[in-house]
Amino acid sequence: MIFRIQEFFRQNIFSLCILLVIYGLSTSPQVAKLCAGVAILLFGMIFLSNGFRSFSGGFLEKVLLKFTKTTPRSITFGAVITTLMQSSSLVSVLCISFVSVSLISLPQGIGVMFGANLGNTAGSWLIAGASSINISVFALPLIVGGLLFNFQNKAAYKGIGQVLSGLGFFFLGVFYIKEGFEGFSSVLDLSQYDFGALGFMLVGALVTAIIQSSHATLAIIIAAFLAGQISYKNALACVLGTSAGGVVTALVASLSTNAQGRKLALANCVFNFVVVALVMIFFDYFVLANDTLAALIGIGASSSLRLALFHTIFNVFGVALLSFAIPFIAQTLDKIFDSRIKNESAPMFINDSLLPYTDTAIHALGKEVWHLYQNAFAIIAHTIGFHRHDIREHGDLKPLLQNYELLEKDIAVRELYNNDVKSLFNVIIDFSTKLQACVTQPKDVQRIMSLQIASRKIAEATKNIELLQDNIKKYTKSNNQALKSEYNNMRLGLANLLALIEQISPASLEVEMSDKKADKKTDKKASGKAGKKTESASGASGKNSKKADSGKAKSGKNANKNAKDLEADSSKDFAKDSDADSSKDAGKDSGKSRKSSTISQEKITLKDIKKMLKAERKFFKQQDKYAITMAETLIAQNKISSANSTSLLNDFSFVNTIAKELISAINHIYGISGNKSI
């Protein structure tokens, strides 16, 4: 019986706590009014965030990309957008998402976060101004008007309705907080307690961290100050504390992101903690500066606007002081954090927090599919006996066929497939399925489907390479020169295909290139301003085609000519070799990949990519047909047995299947495939 009671309390502890809180509030009307005000204000903040998010439609993402090219522009953007949206949390989450998928750099993201702290001061002015007048007369009409807008069918109208309702609830919450503090002294007189500036700063930080809203904490502080519950200096210290406690939201948002996102959240902590520490050290001087400036602009000694002014002063001070140190902060964080991937099966770019921002989520999905390909690339390359840095850097791969180092190792292909490919593939499919429910544009739905198909093709290609492993290891070291030569041709054909794919992989994998309008612009620009480059690339494609027809499998030679220049920026993080030497290879790739990010996409157009992949597909199809004639000839010459020919024909078929799956996957990644079925 006692056990059942304990189990009941354990399972229902949260519900019981809520009931106790409700009962406690019902016994004290003033405390209930104060807590209700905080709850209504937070409810309004949720409405505001949802409203801006609902009609953004990728607008915020596009603006963020456009106006964050330099540090001053990044700071200005962060300040302006936070002032307009009254939600530094939304801006922080969006910024962390962008940095985590490499749409903007870490220094750009730090600039936006600094600006968001500056823009957050507009909220303190709004709350202070609202506390000085009877704003309840504005709150109810805004709520009613917002509700009427919310009944409309268009998403934009619904968004406007949520914004208006959010403002109404925001003002109503401030009103109830103010009303609650006016009679709060009968319950608890806070003016009797004096913890000093440091103590009240910690109180402000703690309250902000708990409710995760600096606006709500500022409303409480301003209401308490106007009610005489806390002194002027203590109120200023509490306001300072909201900056320290406000980092919690960004830290929580960064937990589900990669190392880049966590770096940005830590940079936000550095800004706020450094500013708070410096202001606390020189607190009296900042109070004096605040009083002097307030007197100059005519703010009264008892006005709550002085608290808003103080909030603005120390944030402006922080931005002015630390904005020049943004590059240093970014470099330091890069040195402290080891951003190399420890677990290849873990997703690098996608998480459910991206789902509300569909444009960003689709971009992240594309990068995650490329991550999946890089895992598959490692497994396939090692299975056929090549290091990845050899495939990326060597113009002629044929001499490397005599290097049996990897073939002599016992590479567990099935285990690597399950750990590095299958598990990540499942995450990609799960995320993309959720994302499909969030998008409305047909082109976005099609893009997601293409990436799903690409993921499936990559997984199938990796799974099939296991079927080749035993025979490749056996016959490449065989005394039968005919068998050895044909299996080396298989290895060389796949290696050249991998080299070609590495050549055409763009420096930042801009998956939006699949948009048909973007394709047309790219092709026109390439054919007009860069005609010579396009002809050169097309010529390279033609050469690859001829070599494919001749059966010599040298298309990868031309592919590797520019491999160093066009090496994928993301490839450095995806490296995971099966042995110690390949770990060093990843380090080499990492160093070279940074130089490739400046290479123009005009060097190889989507049209050229399509031609080169088509030539490769044709080559492998002809090789598959050639295998039958070749096997019959070798049997007739008594160079191989019938059993050997069966193995040879099966393995040529497997190679053709693997190549076909990889080519199809790359076509879908670039959005240039005509096949729309999974």
Q: Is residue 219 scored above 80 in pLDDT?
A: yes
DSSP 406-444: TTTS---HHHHIIIIIIHHHHHHHHHHHHHHTT---HHH
**Is 320 found in the same domain as 381?**
no
Tell me what pLDDT residue 55 has: 57
- Tens of pLDDT, residue by residue over 423-474, are 999 999 999 999 998 888 888 999 999 999 999 999 999 999 988 888 888 8
3-state helix vs strand vs coil in the chain, percent to 5: 80, 0, 20
pTM above 0.75, yes or no: no
CA distances from 201 to 35, 230, 245, 447, 465 (A): 21, 12, 10, 50, 62
**Is 482 found in the same domain as 595?**
yes
Please indicate whether residue 103 or residue 678 has the higher confidence score (pLDDT): 103
The answer to whether position 677 is within a domain reads: no
**Is 399 found in the same domain as 304?**
no
Which residue is listed with tokens 């499919």? 429
**Is 227 found in the same domain as 118?**
yes
**Helix crossing, 642-669 with 606-636: angle to 10°?**
180
Q: Is residue 286 scored above 60 in pLDDT?
A: yes
Q: Is residue 390 scored above 50 in pLDDT?
A: yes
- 400-406 contacts at long range (C-beta below 8 A, 24 or more positions apart): 400/495, 401/476, 401/488, 401/491, 401/492, 404/476, 404/477, 405/581, 406/382, 406/578, 406/579
**Is 498 found in the same domain as 452?**
yes
**Is 360 found in the same domain as 330?**
no
Share of the chain above pLDDT 90, in %: 20
**Within a 13 Å sphere around the CA of 164, how many CA atoms are in the beta-carbon half?**
18
- Tens of pLDDT, residue by residue over 118-134, are 998 988 898 888 776 66
The answer to whether position 476 is within a domain reads: yes
Choosing from 281, 308, 336, the residue where a domain stops is: 336
Cα dihedral angle (512, 514, 516, 520), rounded to 10 degrees? 90
**Is 372 found in the same domain as 312?**
no
CB atoms within 10 A of CB 299: 18
The answer to whether position 74 is within a domain reads: yes
The answer to whether position 28 is within a domain reads: yes
**Is 384 found in the same domain as 283?**
no
Closest CA to 659 of 306, 284, 380, 322: 380
Report d(CA 511, CA 365) in Å as an integer.
Answer: 9
- Tens of pLDDT, residue by residue over 620-660, are 888 878 888 888 888 888 888 888 888 888 888 889 999 99
Domains: count for the chain: 2
Spell out the residues 6+ positions from residue 69 whose beta carbon is closer than 8 angstroms to its own: 108
**Is 367 found in the same domain as 319?**
no
**Is 183 found in the same domain as 61?**
yes
**Which structural domain range is residue 41 located in?**
2-336
Q: What is the mean pLDDT of the chain?
A: 77
- CB–CB of 656/624 below 8 Å? yes
**Is 382 found in the same domain as 318?**
no
**Within a 13 Å sphere around the CA of 151, how many CA atoms are in the beta-carbon half?**
5
Tokens of 528: 């007009």
- CB–CB of 469/413 below 8 Å? yes
Q: Is residue 587 scored above 80 in pLDDT?
A: no
